[in-house]
Chains A and B, each alone.
Chain A
Amino acid sequence: MTKNLLKNSLVVLGLAIGICASAHGMAFTKKTPEVDPSMAIGAVTLLAGSLAVLRIRRGK
C-alpha cells in the first residue's frame, strides 16, 4: 500500500512538474524563437512512431 502510494505520488509529481516546466516553453507565440510548431509536430511524430516500432510484439 505504502509502496504503491509512493510510486503513484512520485509519478504524479514528476508529471506535474514536467508539464509545468515544459509549459514554459510552449508559449506558442511566433515571437519565441525556440518554438517551431512544424518541427515540434515532426519530432513528436517521429518519437511516437519510433516507440510504436519498438513495441513490436516479441516472439515473431
Chain B
Amino acid sequence: MIKSKCTCASTGNCPSRSRRVIVLSRQLLGRLLMLGASVAFEYLFCFRSRGTVAGHLRIFGVFTDLYGQIPILAFIVFLGLGYSRLKTLREEIPFGRILFGGHFFCMAVVFSMTIAAQKGLGWRFLDPFGYTKSAVYLLATVLLALAYIPPRSWMVALRATGLLWLYALLAGVTGWFLGTTVKSLWYSTSTIDSGMMQRATLHEVQAVLGIFRQDVVVDPTTFTIGTQNNTIMISGGCSGIEGLGLVLAFTSIWLWHFRKEIRFPQALLLVPCALGCSWILNIVRLSALILIMNVSGFEDAWAGFHIAAGWISFTAVALAFSTATEKLSWVRRIPPPDLNSAGAPQPWSEPQGESPAIRAYLLPFLAILAAALVSKAASANYEWLYSLRFFAAATALIYFWPELKKLNWRIGWLGPVVGVAVFLMWIAPAGIARILGHPPAVNSLGTALAALSPTARWSWIILRVATAVVTVPIAEELAFRGYLARRFVSREFDRVSFTSLTVLAICLSSIVFGVEHMKDLMDWQHLLLGTVAGIAFAVALRRRGRIGDAVAAHAVCNLLLAAWVLGLGDWAQW
C-alpha cells in the first residue's frame, strides 16, 4: 500500500508549488492571465448567440465577430512573446474591489439588455445598432482591466516589454486580415474564385470513390457527391479547413512552447507535413463516409462517423507531430542543463517531464475516451459499441494493477454516503420535474433499445451498467483525484498525500471534472453538478486519504443512477 505520507516536505516541492499559484494571482502575469480568462468567459458564454440575436454586441455598427479576433490574437501574442519578461515582474499588486463592483454592475446591465433584445422588447428600437450596450460592455471591460491591474502596473508592464504591444497589435490585425481573406477559400458565395477548397476536396473524394465504385454521382455546382443511393454535400467546414486550422494552431503552439527543445528551422518542415496529413485524412474520412452509407443498415452512419472521424484524425495528426518533434534526432535538441554561475547544475531546478507514475493513473481514463470516440464513430442513434469502453478501461486497469494495487483501496462508510448524496443532487432536477408533472425528456436511446432482441438489449444494458459502476469510477477517480488534483499541487504528484490536497487543487480538478460531464457548451446544469460531485468525491478521498472511498462514492452514485434510468425509463440521464 502506498502510504499517504507527503514526502514533498523533504524536497520542498509541494508547498512552494501551491504557494506559487496563490502568489501568481497577485502578480502581473497571473493578473493578465486572469483578465484574459475572465474576458473570454464573459464574451464566449454571455454573448454566444452572436450574429443571430437582435441586440448583439456591435462596435462602430459592425458585429464584434468580424474583428473581435484582433484583441484576442494581440493578447495571445503579447502574453506569449512577453512571457519571460512579464514573469520577472514579481511585485504584488492590489485588487480594485470597487472597480470590480463597477464591472459587475455594467455586465449585469449588458446582460439585461441582451435578454431584453432577445425578448423583442420595444425599447430596443431606440438603439437598433446596440451602441449603448456596446459602450457599456467596453466600459465593463476597461473597469475589469483596471480592477485586476492598476494603471501604474500597466505602465510597468508596457515599459518592461518595450514595443511588444505594437507588435502584438500588428500581429492581431495581420491575423484578422489573413483570416478574413482566406475565408474565400471555403465560402462559396463571396468571390468568383471562392469555394476552392470545396472543389479540390470534391475532386479528390471523387477520385478515391472511383476506385471502389462505378456509380459515383457528382454535382460541382452544389458540391454534392455520392452514389445513386446516398449523397453528401461538402460544406465549407467539410472542406478540411477546420482540421487544417486546428492542426496549424496546435503545431504553432507546440513549436512555441517547446522551442528550447526543438531545432529551427528544421522543425518548421514538420508543419506542412502535418497539414498534408490532415488534408489526406479528411479525404479518407469523406470517402469512407460515403462508402459506409452505402452499406445496408448503415445509412445513418453519417450522424456519428463524420464528426468522430474528424476528431480522431486531428488527435492522430497532433500526436504524430508531437512524437516527431521528440523522437526525430534532426529536429530534437537536448536543452542545456540549468547551470549556476560556477557552471554546476542548479540543485533546486525542477525535473523536466511528467512523473512516470502518470501512466497508471491516466491511461485507463484515456482508454475510455479513445473507446468513446471509436464507439461514437460507429454509432447513429445509440452507441451499440458502448461496451468497448468497459473492455478498454478493464484492459488498462489489469495491465497497471501491479502498480495500482499499492494504493489504499479500503472503503469506509463515508464513500457510500457521499455517493447517495451526490446521486440525490444529480437527480434532483429530473425528480422535481417529475413531481411537477413534466414528462421526462425524449431520448432516442429507449426507442433504439426497444427495437433490439431481448438478448441484445440486456447484454447491452448489463455492460452499460458494468461500465458505469466498475470501470468508469475507478478510471475517473484515478485520473481526476489521483492525478489531476495532486498534479495541481506538485509535478511529483505521486509523492503528494491525498490528505494534503489543497482547496485550490480540489476546486480546479473538480471544475475540469464538471466540464467533462457537459453535454453542450451551454450545459450549465451538468457543469455545476459535475463540479460539486467532483468536490464531494475529493472530500471523501481527502478525509482518510483512501482512493477506495472516492471510488466507492462514485460507484454508488452511478449504480443508483442506473437503477433510476432502468426503473423509470428516464434514458436521458444516460
Q: Point out the residue from A10, A17, A56 that lies within 8 Å of B182, measured CB to CB.
A: A17
Query: Could you tell me the distance in whole angstroms from the C-beta of B331 to the nearest C-beta in chain A?
Result: 14
The interface bits of chain B over 37-51 (1 if a CB of A lies within 8 angstroms of the residue's CB, else 0) are 000000010001100
Chain A: minimal CB distance from B86 (Å): 16
CB of B81 within 8 Å of the partner chain: yes
CB < 8 Å neighbour of B186 from A24, A45, A52: A24
Q: Provided the pairs A13-B174, A17-B182, A39-B311 are in contact, do residues A53 and B363 lie with their beta carbons within 8 angstroms?
A: yes
Report if A53-B354 is in contact (Cβ < 8 Å); known contacts: A17-B182, A19-B69, A38-B519: yes
Closest B residue to A33 by beta carbon equals B307
Max chain B Cβ within 10 angstroms of own Cβ: one of A7, A20, A56: A20
Within 8 A of A (CB), among B216-273: 235-238, 241-242, 244-253, 255-256, 259, 264-265, 268, 271
Interface pair A17/B73, CB less than 8 Å apart: no
Query: Which residues in window 2-60 of A have CB below 8 A to B?
Result: 3, 6-8, 10-25, 28-30, 32-34, 36-43, 45-47, 49-58, 60
Closest to B50 in A: A27
> Which A residues are CB-close (under 8 A) to B376?
39
The answer to whether B319 touches A50 (Cβ under 8 A) is yes
Taking a contact as CB atoms under 8 Å apart, the answer to whether B319 and A54 are in contact is yes
Identify the stretch in B139-147, B364-372, B534-542, B561-569 within 8 Å (CB) of chain A at 4 or more residues.
B364-372
Inter-chain CA distance A49–B376, complex, in Å, is 20
Q: Known: A20-B178, A32-B237, A33-B307. Is A57-B355 also a contact (CB below 8 A)?
A: yes
A29 adjacent to B176 (CB under 8 Å): no
For residue B16, CB closer than 8 A to chain A, the reply is no
B162 nearest CB across to chain A (Å): 14
- In the complex, what distance in Å separates the CA atom of A26 from the CA atom of B354? 31
The distance in angstroms between the C-alpha atoms of A46 and B376, with both chains bound, is 14
Indicate if B76 sits at the interface (CB-CB under 8 A): yes
Classify chain A's interface size.
Answer: 35 or more
Task: Tell me which residues across on chain A come within 8 A of B255, comparing CB atoms.
Answer: 11, 14
- Are A56 and B359 interface neighbours, CB within 8 A? yes
Q: CA separation between A24 and B243, bound complex, in Å?
A: 11
Within the complex, the shortest CB–CB distance from A57 to chain B, in Å, comes to: 3
Q: Which residues of A are at the interface with B, using a C-beta cutoff of 8 A? A: 3, 6-8, 10-25, 28-30, 32-34, 36-43, 45-47, 49-58, 60
Q: Can you name 20 A-B residue pairings with CB atoms under 8 Å?
A: A3-B264, A6-B265, A8-B81, A10-B268, A12-B80, A15-B76, A16-B176, A18-B247, A20-B180, A21-B241, A21-B244, A23-B69, A24-B241, A25-B246, A33-B307, A34-B238, A37-B521, A40-B311, A45-B516, A50-B319
Question: What is B's interface to A at a CB cutoff of 8 Å?
Answer: 44, 48-49, 52, 69, 72-73, 76-77, 80-81, 171-172, 174-176, 178-180, 182-183, 186, 235-238, 241-242, 244-253, 255-256, 259, 264-265, 268, 271, 306-308, 310-312, 314-315, 318-319, 322-323, 326, 351-356, 358-359, 362-363, 365-366, 369-370, 372-373, 376, 479, 515-516, 518-521, 523
